[in-house]
């Protein structure tokens, strides 16, 4: 056995986990999902899902990671449940596919840092986005993004990840506050807020079979749950940490940042006359692009904004890559450096179709967010709820939380969470198959 690394500072773990959670999911994916699913209705269901399912689900991953001190596949073996390795394997596969498209979007963001300085998208934000989001340009920036992500993982946990995240978290909050104040002064602010904040309950009742799956997928995606990222990160922490408290800070920060993004994006979209439901993956770029074009000093503001988003994206991307790399290191005893280079190259290649044709973005994105993340989480919940005997004991380590609360968590995992995730999974699977495999809807609802 060679020694495993652990976090350099106490706050290092929280920062890194926040770095994993806060990323393109909050700033790019959240606003366009909210737009597609009707604004405030989506926000409400999403928030419910985060607190009722997302937060306890994060603890499910923590108790596996901290106890086993392994990657998501090795963890099951270490805990003595060899047969459950498949649950970790789903995670490693999911990580692979997520990073393949994540890196393409990260590449767009990087491109926009430069394009802000030169004002290249100012004249026609929509046309510019269409030109750079596919083809050789997108491919080049996808390569650069993957190189940067691989580089940080290559250097190892402490030097790379902690440092990057310490800068990113505060800067993103400050920038979003600033942009939020700006958005407040716009003409479309009121329409934007009302779209974002006043839910139509009739609409929820009618559309819940589409809103719930989308909100669940977004919740797992944004909290980095269902594929072992949080198992991996919590495998580097010590017993004296309060998992519940740490989890609560991570979930709150992530949620605050996503919600803040809505306060920036929707007033802008209403002001420049873009329908939030139609923006799709380009919404953030076209919407904010239009706003920066109209702002004095928009070049600098745009560059700073996209640079911050880039850092947020990178700090999430490294957590995704780390899942695959830590598995290769633990399992095959390969040197971290070699593993990082090989895995990054393979993921880059998997992302090539996405960079060449945006059609594949949705195929990859929905396969992971709607199907694979809930599937992975489902097995983790069954495992922690019904199979793994030490889950409650592990959660209570390092805390003075009463036994009642720990028990309540365990029973919440065992029945309500299990059933809700199963429902989401079935709804999502149907939706995905209808959309991409051309089958007829088969559910009675």
Residues in touch with ligand PHE (CB under 6 A):
20-21, 23-26, 98, 221-222, 224, 227, 229, 316, 319-320
Q: Which two tokens stand for residue 163?
A: 């440092």
Task: Find the largest Cα–Cα distance for the chain.
Answer: 63
Q: At closest approach, how far in Å is the CB of 245 from ligand PHE?
A: 20
98: which residues sit within 8 A by CB, 6+ positions away? 227, 320, 364, 368
* CB of residue 229 to ligand PHE, shortest distance in Å: 4
CB distance 424 to 416 below 8 Å: no
CB of 271 to ligand PHE, least distance (A): 26
Residue closest to 87 by CA, chosen among 382, 307, 349: 382
With respect to ligand PHE, which residue has the nearer C-beta, 286 or 321? 321
Instruction: Count CB-CB contacts under 10 A for residue 22.
Output: 30
Nearer to ligand PHE, 214 or 410 (CB): 214
How far apart, in whole angstroms, are the C-alpha atoms of residue 401 and residue 322? 31
Cα gap 286→125, rounded to integer Å: 5
Nearer Cβ to ligand PHE, position 94 or 396?
A: 94
The 3-state DSSP composition of the chain as helix, strand, coil percent (nearest 5) reads: 80, 0, 20
Min dist CB 25 to ligand PHE, Å, is 2
Which residue number, 104 or 320, has a Cβ lying nearer to ligand PHE?
Answer: 320
The least CB distance from residue 403 to ligand PHE, in Å, is 32
> Tokens for 305?
């904004």
Residue closer to ligand PHE (CB basis): 7 or 221: 221
CB of 218 to ligand PHE, least distance (A): 9
In 10-135, alpha helices (H) = 10-21, 24, 30-36, 40-49, 55-68, 72-78, 85-118, 125-132
């Amino acid at each position: 056995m060679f020694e495993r690394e652990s976090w350099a500072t106490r706050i290092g773990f929280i920062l890194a986990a926040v770095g994993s959670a806060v990323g393109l999911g909050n700033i790019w994916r959240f606003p366009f999902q909210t737009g597609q699913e009707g604004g405030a209705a989506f926000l409400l269901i999403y928030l419910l899902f985060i607190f009722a399912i997302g937060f306890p689900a994060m603890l499910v991953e923590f108790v596996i990671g901290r106890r086993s001190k392994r990657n998501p596949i090795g963890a099951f073996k270490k805990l003595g449940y060899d047969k459950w390795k498949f649950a970790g394997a789903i995670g490693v596969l999911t990580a692979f596919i997520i990073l393949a498209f994540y890196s393409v979007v990260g590449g767009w963001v990087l491109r926009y840092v430069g394009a802000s300085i030169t004002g290249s998208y100012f004249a026609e934000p929509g046309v510019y986005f269409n030109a750079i989001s596919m083809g050789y340009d997108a491919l080049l920036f996808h390569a650069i993004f993957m190189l940067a992500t691989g580089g940080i993982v290559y250097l190892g946990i402490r030097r790379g990840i902690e440092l990057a995240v310490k800068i990113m978290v505060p800067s993103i909050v400050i920038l979003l506050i600033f942009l939020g104040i700006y958005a407040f002064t716009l003409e479309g602010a009121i329409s934007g807020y009302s779209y974002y904040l006043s839910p139509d309950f009739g609409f929820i009742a009618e559309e819940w079979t589409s809103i719930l799956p989308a909100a669940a997928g977004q919740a797992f995606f944004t909290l980095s749950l269902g594929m072992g990222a949080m198992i991996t990160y919590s495998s580097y922490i010590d017993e004296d940490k309060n998992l519940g408290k740490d989890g609560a800070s991570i979930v709150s920060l992530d949620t605050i940042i996503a919600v803040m993004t809505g306060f920036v994006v929707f007033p802008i979209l209403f002001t420049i006359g873009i329908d939030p439901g139609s923006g799709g993956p380009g919404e953030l770029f076209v919407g904010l692009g239009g706003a920066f074009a109209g702002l004095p000093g928009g070049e600098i503001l745009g560059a700073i904004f996209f640079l911050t988003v880039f850092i947020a994206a990178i700090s999430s991307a490294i957590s995704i890559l780390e899942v695959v790399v830590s598995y290769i290191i633990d399992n095959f005893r390969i040197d971290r450096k070699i593993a990082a280079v090989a895995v990054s190259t393979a993921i880059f290649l998997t992302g090539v179709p996405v960079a060449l044709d945006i059609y594949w973005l949705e195929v990859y994105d929905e396969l992971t967010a709607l199907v694979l993340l809930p599937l992975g989480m489902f097995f983790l919940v069954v495992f922690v709820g019904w199979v793994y005997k030490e889950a409650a004991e592990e959660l209570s380590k390092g805390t003075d939380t009463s036994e009642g609360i720990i028990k309540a968590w365990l029973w919440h995992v065992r029945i309500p969470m299990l059933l809700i995730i199963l429902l989401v999974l079935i709804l999502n699977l149907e939706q995905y198959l209808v959309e991409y495999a051309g089958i007829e809807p088969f559910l009675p609802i």
